[in-house]
Amino acid sequence: MSDSVAHAIEHVRQQIHAAEAAAGREAGSVRLLAVSKTFPASAVQQAYAAGQRAFGENYVQELQAKASELAALDIEWHFIGPLQSNKTRIVAETAHWVHSIERLKIAQRLSEQRPDSLPPLQVCVQVNVSGEASKSGCAPQEAKELALAVAALPRLQLRGLMCIPEPTEDAQKLAGQFALLQQLQQELRTAGLALDTVSMGMSADMAQAIAAGSTMVRVGTAIFGARHYHS
């Protein structure tokens, strides 16, 4: 299996480079986040052996277990799933990044619970660009107020914005949702926040996201294969 993971990562990297070139962007301007949720630590090790260092997890217990098992490796752990206030301590003590801040209360708890011995937690505010009731994220009109409040908290460093668009075959609708996130990011930079991260794009819509200005794509299926969820 390790060869297949290594091969898949190389293929995804080639796709990212091609999308960067097609968008007239500098090579290497988009980071790959390998989303390892539901896959075992052994799969993360295979991707690590292929040179991948940043990994995304959606579930707190899974993040904790893998980070513990793979503690000897210099992995950058990104928490990208919905986060409840009773689970913030584990994430504050384990993750390097959190992409999914949608409420100030969660950010405040992460700030309070981030150990002084660790560097500031790198964070993104998640915006619900599609308006779907089932989606996490703050409303676009609330993003600026939330981002400014998060940026003022100690032990956190606000890096940018994240979104999960509506799964759609409509390229125009998708482009509009990506453009909304990019527009909000520009507004926040104009407001004086030094942001460098736009976390958007997954296996199916990576090229469109890069064309729209993504700086970090979150890719799971195209690297590790189809997910098997345990009921």
> 142 in a domain, yes or no?
yes
Give the global pTM: 0.96
Q: How far apart are CA 104 and CA 165, in angstroms?
A: 22
Domain span at residue 62 reads: 2-224
- Distance in angstroms (rounded) separating the CA atoms of residues 215 and 220: 17
pLDDT, mean over the chain: 96
- Region at 223 (left for phi over 0; alpha for psi -120 to 50; beta for the rest): alpha
Taking each helix axis from N to C end, the angle separating 171-190 and 143-151, rounded to the nearest 10 degrees, works out to 50
Supply the pLDDT for residue 3: 79
Q: Examine residue 168 and state whether it is found in any structural domain, yes or no.
A: yes
Residue 1: the pLDDT is: 46
**Nearest alpha-carbon partner for 53 in 71, 32, 69, 68:** 32
Look up the CATH number of the domain holding residue 162. Answer: 3.20.20.10
Task: Residue 177: name the closest of 124, 213, 225 by CA.
Answer: 213
Q: Is residue 174 part of a domain?
A: yes
Q: Is 124 within a domain?
A: yes
Q: Which residues of the chain carry a pLDDT beneath 70?
A: 1-2, 229-231
Q: How many domains does the chain have?
A: 1
Looking at residue 91, what is its pLDDT?
Answer: 98
pLDDT of 2: 57
